[in-house]
Amino acid sequence: MDVSFRFMTLQDLDRIIEIEQLSFTLPWSRSSFYQELTNNPYARYIVLEYDRQVIGYCGMWLVMDEAHITNIAVLPQFRGKKLGEALMRQAMALAREEGAKTMTLEVRVSNVVAQSLYRKLGFLNGGIRKRYYSDNQEDALVMWVKL
């Protein structure tokens, strides 16, 4: 599959919101993404394109020498094709280029598919954030990797 990556722009927001709503029970709002792109100097957001269409995205905050993944999603019809892995690898490379030494993220304890991907990329369990997700009070597994 011939895909490409680039930085997210404000023109991508309609598509990003569509992907977000198809991917999460607690989707971010358009204004949240707008604020990230326009007012957060620590934020970096990349998109995954196939056939000139955005099919996924990944966001992170880069603070000092640490990268924190804020969100990652791929359209449902493109899942299972290793595109999430490609997107994470791209985010990890960007974080390294910008001086990050470690990367962290939170993932639902029930999301074993995502956890498997993160472990494949070298992430290790770092702890549990109790009742992290407000929709159902599910715990989050905190994972870390050295870049």
Q: What are the catalytic residues?
A: 106, 118
Sign of CA pseudo-dihedral 19, 24, 25, 27: negative
**H-type alpha helices, 13-147:** 13-23, 30-39, 83-97, 112-120
Instruction: Give 112's contacts (C-beta < 8 A, 6+ positions apart).
Output: none
What is the C-alpha to C-alpha distance for residues 147 and 22, in angstroms, rounded to an integer? Answer: 30
Residue at token pair 């993160």: 118
Neighbours of 53 (CB within 10 A): 11
Neighbours of 122 (CB within 10 A): 13
Task: Quote the tokens at residue 74.
Answer: 């791929």
